[in-house]
Amino acid sequence: MDSRSHPRSHPRSHSRSHSRSQGAAGIIAQVALLLCSSCGTTGEEVCDGTLVSNLPPASFRSSSQLSSSHAPGFAKLNRRDGAGGWSPLTSDRYQWLQVDLGRRTKIAAVATQGRYGSSDWLTSYLLMFSDTGHNWKQYRQEDSVGSFPGNSNADSVVQNKLQQPGTARFLRLLPLHWNPSGRIGLRLEAYGCPYTSDVLSLGGGGGLVYGLSPGARRSSRDVVSLEFKTTRSSGTLLQAEGGGGLALSLQLERGTLLLLTRGPASPEPRRVASLGSLLDDQHWHRVALERRGSQLNVTVDGHAERVRIPAEFGSWDAEQLSVGALRGLVSERNFRGCLENLEHNGLDLVELLKNKDRRVTAVGNVTFSCAESVSVAVTFPGPQSFLRLPWATSSPSEGASVGFQFRTWNDAGLLLTFDLPEGGGVVWLYLSEARLRLQIHKDGRAPLELSAGSALNDGQWRSVELTSRRGRLTIAVDAEEEGVAHAGHPVSAGSQLFFGGCPAAEDTQDCKNPFGVFQGCMRLLRMEDQPVDLIKVQQRLLGNYSHLQIDMCGIIDRCSPSRCEHGGRCSQSWTVFRCNCSASGYSGATCHSSVYEPSCEAYKHNGNTSGHFYIDVDGSGPIRPLLVYCNMTEENTWMVIRHNNTELTRVRPSPGVEQHSVHFDYSTEEEQLLAAISQSEHCEQALSYRCRKSRLLNTPEGSPFSWWLGGPGPGRVQTYWGGAQPGSRQCACGLRGDCVDPQHYCNCDADRAEWAEDSGLLTHEESLPVRALVLGDIQRAGSEAAYRVGPLRCHGDKNFWNAAFFDKETSYLHFPTFHGELSADISFLFKTTASSGVFLENLGIKDFIRIELSSSTRVVFSLDVGDGPLEVGVDSAVPLNDDRWHRVRAERNVREASLRLDGLPVAAREAPADGHLHLQLNSQLFIGGTASRQKGFRGCIRALRLNGVALDLEERARITPGVRAGCPGHCGSYGSLCRNRGRCAERAAGFLCDCGLSAYTGAFCHTEVSARFTPGTTVSYTFRQPHESGRNSSARPSSIYSDTTLRGEDVSLSFSTTQSPALLLYVSSRHGESLALLINKHEALEVRYKLDGSRGAEVLRSAARSLADGRLHAVSLRRRTDAVSLQIDQRPKEVFNLTADGEFNAIKSLVLGRVHDSEDVDPDLSPLASLGFAGCLSVVRFNPVSPLKAALLHPHSSPVVVTGPLVRSSCGSSASANPHAAEDTRRLSDRSGSVGSGQPLVNAVRTDSALIGGVIAAAVFVMASGLAVGGRFLYRRRETYRSQEAEGVKREDSQDFAFTDQRDSQSVSTQKPKEYFI
């Protein structure tokens, strides 16, 4: 039901009548209610009868009245009696108007009107309900909004419908705001219908026992419901007992309702749920339990929770239901209070008890009424609240005694203070760190301090006693003396005591508060064992106060139900709640937004490298984050999800077992797995079977020997094999037509004694993942078999590049209404050249939500949930209309509205503490425009998600004029991810990094290409003449060729060695010119330029020393004609000048390692060149040429020759040599095993994966050693090495993206050396 106000266009008309006697009017009121009894009390029946218009004047009370003609009895809607309504003597927030409806009544709406013919009306008010005229409870809409909108003039009627009808005898209205040009003036009406119920009062020893009939026990659905009220915080409410010693119990404990189970195996009670809070407030609370098997739905005051109870309760029948007096499962205390509407499966048990039905038995003290004790509480709601009471008692020498109870959520605040009457001094009793503390400051003496209690901010009623008698000072909390001191003389109060705070400084000098104000409730105040009459305080007949709410406790538990999502932990103060989101994987004021990206594709485009990541497929949705391995070494970004056995496994037959069955556990929740598959563009899983006399599928006409289960849930039976099509009953060879036996469609079905294999990829997503494997033909003599089911591998993200282009301001896409009532998050990327435009808009009657580019540097998130427009903006220092992608993330929850733009600080605006909660929208959702078709957005929007759900922009754009599907041009935004001279290349959906001109490789050209050299290793790169390149018909990568006459060079490499002297690089020309980089015998770097064949080489020596220390050092050499600069590591650049003409003519070759052709070597370097190089070289670049990369990755398409063993290596710690590598290393190893946004997890690997990784690493090492021995044997003939290039080098998949075998992708470890023979 709508909670907003609606002016009544046709007010109800009531005949004007003169006053009747009180008795006659009372009879008329009762008759009116009875006539409306046909309305009933169910929500589906009409309940809108007038409740106030026929009441006598005695039913009205008020805080005051301006005159007898402004009395409360004249406050009836549309009446003109007296002065035309009620007005109090003073217009302030301490006034109220109260109506006695005569009996408990269901109230569905309230209407207000100003005082007739005046300028007096209310603009807002609070509504209070009570059964007794005391202990008022504020009615709140949406569990938070406390105020109701009033009038804008004296005559119109504004009716506010209550979302949930209230039930009360007394109604009280408190003005909040009124016409500033007038005063408080009011006429009102309430609408509703009679409320009837059977009430039961239990006095602590009383109760009710209901024996269920056999028919009820056979019911598959049990429902128990009741309403209760109590002032006791603990007690057993009800218990259901049945066969097998099983029992369910509802127990009040500290004002919270606990659901407990008990069984024969565990006689001790087990808590399965905790619901509600502050249930000991002497107000009615409704509880309902609905059981269907072992599923239990528990509802407390409209807040439902689904609870799974132990499985043995699935077929359990309750035989007896006990209410009140019974032995509790946790507390021995029985319930004391009132019950009504106690029903079991629609049967009213109290009515049965009244009718003396044999199935229901009363135990102990039970009455059919609700006797309530009157306890007047006072609420201190804010910083200006205080209560001042006079102290009038015996002489100061006898001491003092003060007591009270309080409840609060705050851990600090002043409870009580007073001045000492003699000798000066002050006493403070206050809360600090949720402990009770007492300080006495007396002139000329050291302060006296005492403390007591702990965790006193738990919302429970706490009793405090401060007593000073005969020099003994004590403070007690909950009747337990914890603070005792000897004051030397009695501590007595002066003329007055202040509770909760102090008046404003200008109002008094007698009260000082250095501890902050108290926010909470107090009751049962006593001074010298005499109770304080708070009703007299309210009437201004005793003491003084400010900003108090008397005769009610306005405490609210903002953590029940908790607004913290995804397991966030809720804590609160008097005014706000807070969510602790640590370890939840979510962030924000309510732990709503995921801190993880939705896919490996998204992590890659944040600049991350391969590793373990949590992905959150549905963002803020209910599916939890999933730990996966992201392989970013290829052009496609692969998400890898392992199961418990991805290795080749031999089948070991068991005696008497004809089939071998194996199940695969992915250690993920079902919904996580299916969602990850669903959002991927392609998924696959390797399936292979190695066999010897073990048939697989037999023939298409016969029953298969083996099958597998795949797909959602437990999976469906699949009778095809890897590489074939679903339903084909074939293997890959059958599809290709190359099986070893043409009569069969699988190699293994040939049933031969030789080993055979059927393997391939399963790519039909509806059949993935593989859940189980059943192998049948394994028991025959001579049968042997092994199987392997690889990890699930998926690439692509259907939503990440999903985009639409809006080319007109009037174009837009529309989707169904966005439902984000309590929590809403919206994320997308945009790029534009326009300076303004609306990205998104959704409207309601009054509410709306909108995100727009308001200027070229500002994005604004605006909304209205009923409290008025709220706007959050983020300003950018750089223009946003730069045709680059920018990311927007907006969130609205019950605490705040926030906006994020790119990496800028988040902007947030807090929501009103007692504001509206629900965002109510009803129009279509407009993307790229507005309903008015004005201020539309021109540009691209991509990857749009609302509350974690991706919207398919491209699908809608294809059928919408003025909007195009897709949006090209990504390098402007992501090109910076391509490092080390890598070039960004556009793709239809995304981009790739072309590493052709880079000495690096990998997805972002960030992976070093390094190798370990021995003294016998040579890498020789030959530069071809232009006419040679022209005759070559095939296109060659630009990284392999260069101009042959140079006026400058850019040379860079990294090395590590302990050899000195050592030649690192040598470049020769056809005219006797050369360039050499070497380590001399002093472990210093030398550069030797010989640019004139008729002269000797010019030697440039670096000042850096100790370079042959085994550490990795980076060298950068740059020459422009005769100017040379040299930099080693992070040392300052060194500048040299040459005397030669500056041309390097007709370069011929570049050699790394040992130089074999002595004719090309400068005679001065010949001895050194023949020694070779022992160490590691990395990322070698000579102008655009990367000879080491060409040798390792492109040996067939490059003019490069490798002799001797070449071992691929990481060269140790590359972080010191390459800043990009250092960055990547931090990303991979910052926090081992911990999770952060965008941080891979390198050690979050299961033990079996680590073990398997170790085995594989050992196998690789053995193979490498064998190849090394073989390499040395083959070294006799250089041509032989060249013929072995294809087998010796493990090539990357392309020159742009590195390829690594990911069979054991979760075994993340230092890359083992692989030896290459070329």
- Cα–Cα distance, 928 to 828 (Å, whole number): 12
pLDDT, position 330: 39
pLDDT at 9 over 50: no
User: Higher pLDDT residue, 1252 or 1205?
Assistant: 1205
Q: Which two tokens stand for residue 884?
A: 């680059």
Query: Which residues face 587 on adjacent strands?
Result: 593
Which helix (H) or strand (E) segment holds residue 1224: the answer is: helix 1219-1229
Question: Rounded to the nearest 5°, which phi and psi values hold at 765?
Answer: -60, -30
| pLDDT tens digits for range 1177-1230 | 999 999 989 999 999 888 888 899 999 998 888 886 443 333 333 333 223 223
Residue 941 has, within 13 A of its CA and on its CB side, a CA count of 34
Out of 145-159, 476-490, 885-899, 993-1007, pick the least confident.
476-490
pLDDT level of residue 26 (50, 70, 90 thresholds) = very low
DSSP code string of 130-174:
ESSSSSBEE--BTTTB-EEE--SSSS--EEEEEEEEEEEEEEEEE
3-state secondary structure 788-801: EECCEEEECCCCCC
pLDDT at 1272 over 90: no
For residues 611 and 1308, the answer to whether their CB atoms sit within 8 Å is yes
pLDDT, position 521: 96
- Cα–Cα distance, 4 to 141 (Å, whole number): 9
| Backbone φ/ψ region at 891: left (φ over 0), alpha (ψ -120 to 50), beta | beta
User: Higher pLDDT residue, 1221 or 750?
Assistant: 750
DSSP 54: T
pLDDT > 70 in the chain, percent? 84
Out of 306-310, 1011-1015, 1238-1242, pick the least confident.
1238-1242
| pLDDT tens digits for range 314-373 | 777 888 888 986 654 334 578 889 999 999 988 999 999 999 998 998 888 888 988 888
Query: Which residues face 486 on adjacent strands?
Result: 472
Mean pLDDT over residues 250-257, rounded?
A: 92
For residues 314 and 294, the answer to whether their CB atoms sit within 8 Å is yes
pLDDT at 491 over 90: no
Out of 400-414, 419-433, 885-899, 1264-1278, pick the least confident.
1264-1278
Q: Which two tokens stand for residue 588?
A: 């924000």
pLDDT, position 1275: 36
| pLDDT tens digits for range 580-633 | 999 899 999 999 999 999 999 999 988 888 999 999 999 999 999 999 999 988
For residues 592 and 625, the answer to whether their CB atoms sit within 8 Å is no
| pLDDT tens digits for range 781-807 | 889 999 999 999 999 999 999 999 998
Across the chain, mean pLDDT equals 83
3-state secondary structure 549-592: EECECCCCCCCCCCCCCCCCEEEECCCCEEEECCCCCEECCCCC
Query: Which residues face 940 on adjacent strands?
Result: 805, 831
Burial class (CB in 10 A: 0-12, 13-18, 19+), 934: exposed
- Cα–Cα distance, 91 to 1223 (Å, whole number): 68
Helix, strand or coil, per DSSP, at residue 1099: strand
* Cis status, amide bond into 1061, omega within 30 of 0: yes
pLDDT, position 30: 44
Q: Which two tokens stand for residue 261?
A: 């189970």
Q: Are strands 593-594 and 586-587 parallel, antiparallel or unpaired?
A: antiparallel
User: Higher pLDDT residue, 592 or 471?
Assistant: 592
For residues 416 and 433, the answer to whether their CB atoms sit within 8 Å is no
What residue type is assigned to position 411 of the chain? Answer: D
- Pick from 39, 58, 61, 42: which is nearest to 50 by CA? 39
pLDDT at 836 over 80: yes
Q: How many helices (H) and strands (E) does the chain have?
A: 16, 86
For residues 608 and 1236, the answer to whether their CB atoms sit within 8 Å is no
For residues 734 and 724, the answer to whether their CB atoms sit within 8 Å is yes
Mean pLDDT over residues 632-640, rounded?
A: 90
Mean pLDDT over residues 843-849, rounded?
A: 92
Mean pLDDT over residues 842-848, rounded?
A: 92
- Under 8 Å CB-to-CB from 362, ≥6 apart: which residues? 206, 207, 208, 353
pLDDT, position 1273: 36
For residues 412 and 431, the answer to whether their CB atoms sit within 8 Å is yes
DSSP code string of 164-216:
EEEEEEEEEEEEEEE-TTS---BEEEEEEEE----EEEEESS-EEEEEPPHHH
pLDDT level of residue 1266 (50, 70, 90 thresholds) = very low
For residues 640 and 792, the answer to whether their CB atoms sit within 8 Å is yes
Mean pLDDT over residues 386-414, rounded?
A: 85
pLDDT, position 324: 85
User: Higher pLDDT residue, 650 or 1220?
Assistant: 650
pLDDT level of residue 463 (50, 70, 90 thresholds) = very high
Q: What is the biggest distance separating any 2 CA atoms in the chain, rounded to whole angstroms?
A: 134
What residue type is assigned to position 1005 of the chain? Answer: C
- Cα–Cα distance, 118 to 129 (Å, whole number): 29
Residue 946 has, within 13 A of its CA and on its CB side, a CA count of 19
* Angle at alpha carbon of residue 1230, lines to 1228 and 1231, rounded to 5°: 105
Tokens 């990496």 belong to residue: 903
Q: Looking at 1094-1186, list the stretches that DSSP marks H as alpha helix, in order from N- to C-terminal side.
A: 1166-1171
pLDDT at 1246 over 70: no
* Cis status, amide bond into 88, omega within 30 of 0: no
pLDDT, position 1303: 35
| Backbone φ/ψ region at 554: left (φ over 0), alpha (ψ -120 to 50), beta | alpha
- Cα–Cα distance, 1217 to 1115 (Å, whole number): 9
pLDDT at 209 over 80: yes
Q: Which two tokens stand for residue 35?
A: 């006539």
For residues 1061 and 1168, the answer to whether their CB atoms sit within 8 Å is yes
